[in-house]
Amino acid sequence: MKLLEKTLNSIGNLDKKAMSEAEERLNKLFKPLGSLGKLETIAIQLAGITGHVNNILSKKVIIVMTADNGVTEEGISVIRVETTDSVTKCILRGGAGVGVLGRHAGSELMVVDIGINIDTTFPGMINKKVRYGTGNIMKGPAMTGEEAIKAIETGIEIASEAAENGFQLVGTGEAGIGNTTTSSAILSVYADCEIEEVVGRGAGLSDEGVKNKTEVIRKAIELNSPDPSDPIDVLSKVGGLDIAGLVGCYLGCASLRLPVVIDGFISGVAALLAIKLNEKSRNFMFPSHVSAERGGRKLMECLSMEPMVYMDMRLGEGTGCALAFFIIEGAAKIINEMFTFKEAVGRDQI
């Protein structure tokens, strides 16, 4: 708990002076004022995060949290729970979506076992297992409050490790069968809507499967009574270890003034919890895309964010972050490399 408290207390504000200087620089570039739209907004936010007008983001990493969820006992997924271990190993071998797109974006991966329900080893895997999967939220809490905090603090430690290794831009991803159920459960606690509006097909459920998933979430919330005013209570009662680890990543990056990218639905729900724990952490986040998972747009409303791209993606893993890296790097390069009017046409012609 001490690390979490220290991290929450160390999250500061954006650097207004650097943001003003960045805006001034952008306004002098060889283009109509504001003509690069959101690229300019991103460049200004980057300046506010780092305190520097000029930022180089050549070293990037996507942190992938992997864990299992006990709620799979209720038939909420068409994929066997053992698949989490297989997906994790596929990511580490470079053959999963995030491996391919990550390489394309020039990004490294940090793959963390924070709660796979079996002992597993594979070259490159970071073993930070808090417990062997969560409990079935239809029968009781997913985890204890202490375990939720430990998982959050694990994410903080991973973010710190990324910073120590010189990474300048962080993405978030996850893998875990059943995690759209836990994410929908958390979102339904905070979203002003019916549960049905935030429950989707996940890995490919039928209409009947979606109905069952919705009822499982409804009953889990009724049984566990998560307290919306206490994000850790919500997380521990109906959440997942992968989500908890990502909450820590966001908070850790914010405390270290390290820009961090939100991936899709599950990563976005973790971002929402991080913001609930400390509103200032929002300033250090960049949303990549809106998930095609039902509830994706409602999540963006809850985050009060507008995604960079609409690609009908719902894979997770950090795939959206890999695409967003290109946009964020582009924003940094605009302010670093584009000519001013004076440089472009000469002082005497202005």
Provide the annotated active-site residues. Answer: 317
Which of 154, 152, 174, 161 lies closest to 91, judged by CA?
174
> In sequence order, what E strands does 273-316 have?
285-287
Q: How many Cα atoms within 13 Å fall on the side-chain side of residue 156? A: 22
* Token output for 162: 């990324």
Provide DSSP, 30-57: SS-TTTTHHHHHHHHHHHHHHS-SS---
* Token output for 180: 């759209």
**Is 152:233 a contact under the CB 8 Å cutoff?**
no
Helix axes 241-256, 179-190, angle to 10 degrees: 60
311/294 Cα distance (integer angstroms): 14
Q: How many Cα atoms within 13 Å fall on the side-chain side of residue 154? A: 28
108/252 Cα distance (integer angstroms): 18
* Token output for 289: 């895309």
**Is 163:61 a contact under the CB 8 Å cutoff?**
no
How many helices (H) does the chain have, and how many strands (E)? 14, 6
Q: How do 169-175 and 60-67 pair as beta strands?
A: parallel
Amino acid at 243: I
187/192 Cα distance (integer angstroms): 9
